[in-house]
Amino acid sequence: MAEAYPWQDSLWQQLAGRSQHAHAYLLHGPAGIGKRALAERLMASLLCQRPTPQACGECKSCLLLKAGSHPDNYILEPEEADKAIKVDQVRDLVSFVVQTAQLGGRKVVLIEPVESMNINAANALLKSLEEPSGDTVLLLVSHQTSRLLPTIKSRCVQQACPLPSEAMSLQWLAQALPDCSAEERVELLTLAAGSPLMAVSLQAQGVREQKGAGGRGCEEVAQATAVADATGRGMENHPDAASV
């Protein structure tokens, strides 16, 4: 089960507590705040046979999802990190969407990050958004909606996922990084532009120690920050981007 982050409580209630679900949701916000985890929880809840609305974790659907063999669940993401989602991948998804659900419930598709689709892939996806098939719910996750086709955005219920407050992030980081001092956690959160999960990943990369190592580390910090940025961007120099 994906982790439930405390700053997502009200978002979770809004999304999972709906009596009727939209055909497609666009979860958008800065990288490093747990949008993927939120989408995975929602996916599990939508597929679960006894949701409360949290997925029960015990029904046939939950067990299949845990085993990675749920027939009515589809995750579309780049085959390699920071590369494009290819049009052939979207075509495979489209043929999944038109099938009947094998367990008789919903089908749920998770796409992340949506902006890594080039124009051909995005156009192929539009068909699935325009012609909803049965009880299929599409969960689109985006770090940068400015890079999405307006036609994709307009066909989804948009759900903004804001940065948590600094106080909430620091409170969570105190548990996530118990070996760091309060001062160090503030520094990491600043380097991560306020994204708590990015702060943890920067700590794992040893960014703060490098920075402290006598002037040598500034470049490495800049590199690590560039890596962090790349999780939200990265398509500008993509070889496929020129062909779109």
Q: Which residues bind Zn ion (CB under 5 A)?
A: 48, 55-56, 59, 62
Q: Which residue has the tokens 């940065």?
A: 163
CB of 228 to Zn ion, least distance (A): 35
b/e string for 53-83 if b means 16 or more Cβ within 10 A? Answer: eebeeebebbebbeeeebebbbbbbbeeeee
Q: Residue 64 in contact with residue 212, Cβ under 8 Å?
A: no
Nearest CB to Zn ion, comparing residues 16 and 55 = 55
Nearest CB to Zn ion, comparing residues 39 and 48 = 48
* 159 vs 152: CA distance, rounded Å: 14
CB of 104 to Zn ion, least distance (A): 14
Element at 103 (helix H, strand E):
none
CB of 72 to Zn ion, least distance (A): 13
CB of 232 to Zn ion, least distance (A): 32
Nearest CB to Zn ion, comparing residues 48 and 197 = 48
CB of 158 to Zn ion, least distance (A): 28
Handedness of CA 146, 147, 151, 152 (dihedral sign): negative
Nearest CB to Zn ion, comparing residues 62 and 97 = 62
CB of 60 to Zn ion, least distance (A): 8
* 172 vs 47: CA distance, rounded Å: 29
Does 164 sit behind a cis peptide bond, omega within 30 degrees of 0 on the bond before it? no
Instruction: For residue 141, report the phi and psi dihedrals to the nearest 5 degrees.
Output: -115, 130
Q: Residue 28 in contact with residue 159, Cβ under 8 Å?
A: yes
Nearest CB to Zn ion, comparing residues 62 and 114 = 62
Quick count: other Cβ atoms within 10 Å of Cβ 109? Answer: 21
CB of 171 to Zn ion, least distance (A): 31
Nearest CB to Zn ion, comparing residues 48 and 122 = 48
Bridge partners, 167 (sequence order): none
Nearest CB to Zn ion, comparing residues 44 and 84 = 44
Q: Residue 72 in contact with residue 101, Cβ under 8 Å?
A: yes
